[in-house]
Structure 1
Amino acid sequence: MLRYILIIICLLPTTVLGQDSWNQEGDLEDSQVIIEKNRKIDLPRINRDFKKVPEIKVNQSTVDVEFNSKQFVPNLNSLAPRIRVLTIQDEKLEKLYANQLKIGGGNYGASYLEGNFASKRSKDKSYGLNIYHQSFANGPIDKRNSGSGYQRVNPYGKMIFQKAVLSAEAFYERHNNYLYGYDTALYSEVDRDTLQRTFHTIGASVSLKDQNESSRYHYTIDGDIYQLFTNINNSEFSFDYNIKNKVDLNDDFALYLNSDGFISSLKFDLLDSAQSRNLLRFKTGVKFTREKLRIGLGLNMVHENDTLEGMGKLHVYPDLNINYAPFDKFSVFAGLKGDVRANRYRNMLMENPYLDNTINIYNTLMPFQFYGGATGSLSNFLGYEVGFSVASVRHNFGYEAIYSESQGEIRYRTKYFDQNNTEANVYAALSTDIDKLRINIRGDYFYYNVGDTELMPFRPSFILKVNSEYWVANKLNIGLNAHLQGRMNNANTIMEENANYSFNVNESIPPIYDLGIKLGYQLSNRSQVFLHANNLIANKYEYYLGYPNRGFQILGGFTYSF
C-alpha cells in the first residue's frame, strides 16, 4: 500500500505542471505504458485416501408364489343379422325374332316369296327351314313363252356335342325355263309345251366335324346325294363325299390325308343306256407352320373314268402352296397345283338352261396351274385382294349355238378343245365397311388360248361386279348393284343359206351393262318394305345368242319378322 502512495506523490508535481501549460502550444510526446500482472497461486499437495465400496450381501431366502387361473368360456347368444346381399340383375337378352317372311310382286308377272324359320337360342342344337320362290309369268319374247321360275325348299339341323358338330340338311329345287330362242317374224304361233324345260332336284347332305382343340387329330366328313329329273326324261344321280384328316406332329409340322370324289350315273332319253361317271381323288402331304410362314407340300392323285383320252386314267399332280405374312394385315401367297375338273350335267344346266336334249359331258384336265397374289387391309375398314393364275388346260369347253330346223329355235351344245391350251385369270377385289356403308368390288380378266384358228365361245373376257349398301338415319336402306361384262365370241353352226332367221350370227355378243338399285324402309324392328329395280338401263342384252334378257324390272314387297 505504501508503495502505491509513493508512486502517486511522485507523479503529482508532473500533473500540476501539465495543467499550468494547458494553453500553451506544443507537441505531445509518444509514450507507452506497460502494465504486467505476474501472480501465481501455488497450493500445497494433499494426499487422499480412496477406499473400496463395501459389498452388499444379498439375502438368499426364497419366497413361494402360487398363481391360480380359471378358464373363462363366454356364452354368446345366437346372432340373426338382417343382412341383404346386393345382387346385380342379369341383363336381359334382346328378344330374338328367328322367323322372317318376305312377299313381293312386280312387272313381267313377277311373284316373290322367301321364308326363313329357325329355332330359338340353344347351346347344343339348331334347326330351321328355308323356302324360296321367284317366277316371271312373262318374258322378253312372246310373253308367256319366255317365262321362268325357281323354287327351293331346304330344311336343316345341327347338333353340337362336346367334341364334334353334326349337321344335316335336305333340299328340293325346281328350275323352269322355255326355249324361246326362235324367230318371232317367222313363227307367230308356237306350241308352248314343246318349249318348256323343267329340272327337279332332290338331295340331302350330312357333315361331321370335330371341335376338340386339345386333340392333335382333326377330321371332317361330308356326304352328299342328289337325284336330278327333267321333263325330257334326262336324269342324273350322284353320291359325293369329302373326307379331311390332319394330324399335328408338333407345333410346326402336320400331316394331312384328304379324299373326295363322286359316283354318278347319267342318262339321256335319246340314248339306250346310262353312263357311269366316277372320280376318286386323294390329297396327301405335309404342312409346315412357323410364325408368319405357312408351307404345304403334297401330291394330288386323281382316278377318273370319263375324259376324251379314254377310260380308267390315273393322274398324279403336284400340290404346293406357300403363304407369308411379313407385316401385320398383309400377306402374300403362291402355289403350283394340278387337278381334274369334274364337269356335271346339273352344273351345266344351272349355267346354261338352253341346252339341247343330248350333249357331251367330259372332265377337263388341268396338268398344272401356277397362281399367286396378296391380301390384306389398309385400315380397319378397307380390305383388298389381288391375284392371278395361269394354267395349262386340256379338254376345256365352251358352248356352241345350233339351230333346230324342226323346232325353229336355237339350242346349245358343249364344244371341247382337245389340244393343250392356256387359261389365265387376273383379278382384284376391294371391300369396305365404314359405319353404315358397305361396298364390295371385284374385277376379273379372263384369257383363253384354244388354238390359232379358234376362239373360246360364250366366255366373257372380263367381269366387273359392284355391290353397295348404305343406311340413312337408321330407317332407310339404299343399295346399288352393277354388273359389267365384256364381249364374248360367238361360235355357231348356223348356216344362213340353210335356214330362214333374222339372228345376227356373224358378230360377237356385245358387252353387257346391268345396273340395279335396292330400297328398304324400316317400319319397325319387325317389319320393312322394300323396292328393287333391275336393269335400269332397260337394255335387253343377250348372254346367249337368241335369248335376250328382260328389260327394266321392278319388284316391291313387305318383310315381317316374328
Structure 2
Amino acid sequence: MTLQKINMLKYILFIIFFFPLTAIGQDNWDQEGDLKDSQVIIEKNRKIDLPRINRDFKKVPEIKNNQSALDVEFNSRQFIPNLNSLAPRIRVLTIQDEKLEKLYANQVKIGGGNYGALYLEGNFASKRSKDKSFGLNVFHQSFANGAIDKGNSGSGYQRVNPYGKMIFQKAVLDAEAFYERHNNFLYGYDTALYSEVDRDSLQRTFHTIGASVSLKDQNETSRYHYNLETDIYQLFTNINNKEFSFDYDIENEFDINDDFAIYLNSDGYISNLKFDELDSAQNRNLLRFKPGVKFTRENLRIGLGFNMVHENDTLEGMNKFHVFPDLNIIYTPFDKLSVFGGLKGDVRANRYRDLLMENPYLDNTVNIYNTLMPFQFYGGLRGSVNNFLGYEAGFSLSSVRNNFGYEAVYNENQGEIRYRTKYFNQNNTEANVYASISTNINKLKLNLRGDYYYYNVGETQLMPFRPNFRLKFNTDYWVVDKLKIGLNAHLQGSMNNANTFVQENANYSFNIDESIPPIYDLGIKLGYQLSNRSQVFLHANNLIANKYEYYLGYPNRGFQILGGFTYSF
C-alpha cells in the first residue's frame, strides 16, 4: 500500500469517530446543563504489513572511453546589439511632378511664293540644361523679282547666327557671332525712258561680320551689381565702302542701404568709316559716362544723375564735350499701375550701318553726323487691367539739333534716284505721342501700337521722308486645336518729299511735287498643325495689292503669297 492510501485511511477513521459525538450534541441543543468532565483515550493499534517484493538490481554497465582524441576549439566573440533605425510607415501626401514634354530643339522651316520668293529658316539648339545652352540660327529670304523690271528690283537677306550661354552661380555669360548679307538694287529709274540698264551697276550688297559678349550679374544677395557687354562688327560693301565699330556698355550699381544706391554707367563706341570715292577714312568716337544716385521708398523710385558725353563728330565745330541732366521718376500708386516721367539730354549716335538698314537706296557717299538732343521731357503710364491685358501710353517732347531726314537725288549718269541725308542745323522741336495694348487670353494674342510724330524744322522747311503717324497691329488666334489664324496690319501717314530735281535738265516722269501718299498694308497668316512636330503655313501680304512707295521711285511689291512647311526634331 502506498503512503498516499495510508493517509487517506487516517482521515476516514477520524471522521467516523467524531461524527456520532457531533450528532449527539446537536440533539440536546435546546437543553440546559453543565458539561461533565470526561477523558477520551484514542488508541491506534493497527499495523499495516506489505508483502516483500523481489527486485533484480543489475550492475550498471561500464562505459568504455573512446581513445580517439577530439580537438575542440572555443572562439569567444563579442556581440554588440544594434537597434535598427526607426522607419515609421508614414506616407506624406505629395503631388507628382508633371513630366516634361519632350523638347524638340531643332526646327526647319521652308517655303516659297510669287515674285520668285524663297524662304528658309533653321534653328538648332541644345537640349534642356540648367547651366548652359547653345545653338545656331540660319535664315534666308529672297525675291528673284520685284515691282519693276523683274530681276532688276529683286532683293535678298541672309543671316547665320551661332550663340551660346553659360549660367554660373552668380553670373550669366552670353556670347554670339553673326554674318549678315543684304542684297538690293537701285531700281528707282524711269522704265519709260530706260528699257535696258546694266543690272550689275544697280546692285548694292552689304556684308557684316560681328560678335558680342555679355556678362550679367545675378547675385541677389550682393550689394554690388554689374552688367558688361561688348559688340564688334565690320561692314563691307560691293562699292568698297567700309565701317568698323567696337561698342561697349558697362553698368555698375552699389546699394548703400535698402533705400539708396549709387551707380556709374558708361557706354560708347570707337569706329572707323571709309568711303571709296573719298579715298579717306574717318574716325568716329563717342564715350558716355552716367554717374548718379537712386532712391527707393515704398511706391516711389527716383533716379538723379548726369549724362556726360564726349564725341568728335558734330556739325559746325561745336563743343565736343556735353553735360546733360538725367532724371527719371516712377510712381506706383497701385499694384498694376505705374506712372513715369523724366528729363534727360543725350547725343544720338548715327552710323553708316544703321542708315543702310533704314534706307538701302543711299548714294555712294553720304554725310553722317551725330544728332544733339539738349533735353527731352517725357512721361506716361503703364500697367495691366488683369493678368491678360496690358497697356502703355506716353509722350516725349525734345529739343533737337542736327536732326536729319532723306533727300532724293537724281543721278543723270545712271538715270535712277538715290538718297542722301539732309541735316537741319538749327534747334528744332520733335514730339511723339504713343499708346499700345497687348493681351494674351487663352487662344488669343494681340498687340496694337499707334504713334504720332511732330517735327518742327523751321518755318519754310519740312522733315522729309518721315511719317507723321504709324499704326501697327498683329494678332494670332487658335480657331480650333490645330488651326491658327493671324492678322497683321500696317498703316502709315503721308510723308513730305524733298529732292534736288531740276525738271528742265533731266528726263524723268516722276511726280516730284506731291508728297508720298499714306501706306496701307494688310496681311493674313494661316497655320495648320499636322502633328506636334510638323505644321504647314500660308502667309499673304499686301492684300490690298497697292504698290505703295515708302521712298520716291521705289514702289513696293504688290500682293505677295508665301506657303511652306515646318518640321521639328
TM-score by length of 2: 0.84
What is aligned with 1:551? 558
2:152 match: secondary structure:
helix
| Cα displacement (A) at 1:309 | 2.8
Map of 1:12 onto structure 2:
none
- Kindly provide the amino acid, as one letter, of the partner of residue 191 in structure 2: T
CA contact (8 A) 1:374 1:386 kept: yes
Aligned to 1:55: none
- Pick aligned residue for 2:544 from 537, 543, 551: 537
1:337 matched to which residue of 2? 344
- SS for the counterpart of 1:459 is coil
Contact 1:303 1:312 (C-alpha < 8 Å) held by counterparts: no
1:242 to 249, 268, 272: 249
2:237 equivalent to 1:230: yes
In 2, distance between residues paired with 1:431 and 1:81? 58
CA RMSD of aligned residues (A): 1.9
Residues 528, 79 of structure 1: alpha-carbon distance in 2 compared, 3 angstrom cutoff: same
Separation (CA, whole Å) in 2 of partners of 1:479 and 1:272: 50
* Partner SS, residue 346 of structure 1: helix
In the TM superposition, 1:24-63 aligns within 5 A as: none
Matched with 2:299 is: 292
Identical counterparts, % of pairs: 82
One-letter amino acid of the structure 2 residue matched with residue 130 of structure 1 = N
Q: Deviations over 1:446-486 (max 9, x none)?
A: 00000000000000000000001100221101000000000
Change (3 A) 1:77 1:353: closer
The residue correspondences of 1:452-463 to structure 2 (distance < 5 A) are 452-463=459-470
CA distance in structure 1 between the partners assigned to 2:88 and 2:223 by the alignment: 52
Q: What is the alpha-carbon distance in structure 1 between the residues aligned to residue 515 and residue 430 of structure 2?
A: 20
Letter in 2 for 1:282: F
Distance 1:499 1:357 in 2: 20
Counterpart Cα distance in 2 of 1:82 and 1:547: 81
Residue 379 of structure 1 and its aligned partner are, at CA, apart by 2.2
AA matched with 1:384: Y
Give, in whole Å, the separation in 2 of the partners of 1:373 and 1:80: 65
Q: Deviations over 1:303-360 (max 9, x none)?
A: 0000003276100000001010112211111100000000000000000000000000
Displacement of 1:376 in angstroms is 1.1
2:124 counterpart of 1:117: yes
Structure 1: distance between partners of 2:296 and 2:88:
58
Matched ranges for 1:105-254 at <5 A: 105-254=112-261
Q: Does 1:449 find its partner at 2:456?
A: yes
1:208–1:400 Cα change, 3 Å: same
Unaligned runs of 5+ in 2: 1-79
- TM-aligned CA distance change 1:77 to 1:555, over 3 Å: closer
Paired residue secondary structure (2:504): coil
1:438 is aligned to 2:445? yes
SS in 2 for 1:274: strand
**Contact 1:304/1:311 (<8 A) preserved:** no
- CA–CA distance in structure 1, aligned partners of residues 277 and 234 of structure 2: 19
Deviations 1:31-69 (A, max 9, x none): xxxxxxxxxxxxxxxxxxxxxxxxxxxxxxxxxxxxxxx
Match of 1:507 among 511, 514, 524: 514
Secondary structure in 2 matching 1:232: coil
Give the alignment's TM-score, normalised by structure 1.
Answer: 0.85
Query: How many correspondences in the alignment?
Result: 489
How far 1:92 moved relative to its partner?
3.1
Post-superposition CA distance 1:361-392 (Å, at most 9, x none): 00000000000001111222221111000000
> 1:77 & 1:144 partners in 2: Cα distance?
90
In 1, distance between residues paired with 2:250 and 2:87? 64
| Matches of 2:181 and 2:319, distance apart in 1 | 34
SS in 2 for 1:497: helix
Q: Distance in 1 between matches of 2:261 and 2:84?
A: 65
Secondary structure of 1:181's match?
coil
TM-superposed CA distance for 1:162, in Å, is 1.0
1:407 matches 2:414: yes
Cα deviations across residues 149-198 of structure 1 (Å, max 9, x unaligned)?
00000000011111111110000000000000000000000010000000
- Whether 2:316 is the aligned partner of 1:309: answer yes
